Amino acid sequence: MARRRDTGTLDLFRDVLPAPVVERFDEADVHAWNMAGRLSKAVAATLDAAGMGRVEVAAAMSDILKDKVTESTLDAYASQAKEKHTISALRLAALVMVTGDARALNTLLVEAGLIVVPAKYEALLRRERAKELRERAEREEAAAEAEWKANR
């Protein structure tokens, strides 16, 4: 006999989703025909979500880079129609520093199978990598031990 589902009790965790470790744009938000188009859409979405105007973002990027960045330059980076005006790596890094939003970097790196992870997780990643290496070494040790015993 199947148990009946309790519909009278609220499920406190039903709608709880953990925050993502790696921030990404929804695929539909940055869908384009090529990598330059995806990057332009990601820059536009970053600027739209920045919580500051493009003039402010441009000024802050100029301060970081010690090079003039204008609102019209940011508009060109955010436009798919201006393929010759793709944002450079240095300016993309400055955009991330100003906005605190690394999703544009993750959009760019998806083709390489890479992601940007917050620095606070680096020690955790090193720990997990060390566990993997230790487990592999233990498997190799066990295989060598079995081979040694079989050949005695």
DSSP 8-state assignment for residue 48: H
Cα distance between residue 119 and residue 52, in whole Å: 25
pLDDT in tens, 105-123: 999 999 899 999 889 999 9
**To the nearest whole number, what is the mean pLDDT of the chain?**
91
pLDDT in tens, 1-43: 567 776 777 777 777 777 777 888 888 999 988 999 999 999 9
| CA nearest neighbour of 46 among 15, 74, 69, 16 | 74
Single pTM value for the model: 0.75
Identify the residue whose tokens are 């592999």. Answer: 136
Of residues 11 and 59, which shows the higher confidence score? 59
| HSE value, Cβ hemisphere, 13 Å, CA-based, for 103 | 22
Identify the residue whose tokens are 């040694």. Answer: 148
Domain limits, the chain:
27-116, 117-152
Residue 44 near residue 78, CB atoms below 8 Å: yes
**Whole-Å CA distances, 45 to 30, 50, 51, 136, 139:** 8, 8, 11, 43, 47
| CA nearest neighbour of 92 among 21, 38, 12, 27 | 38
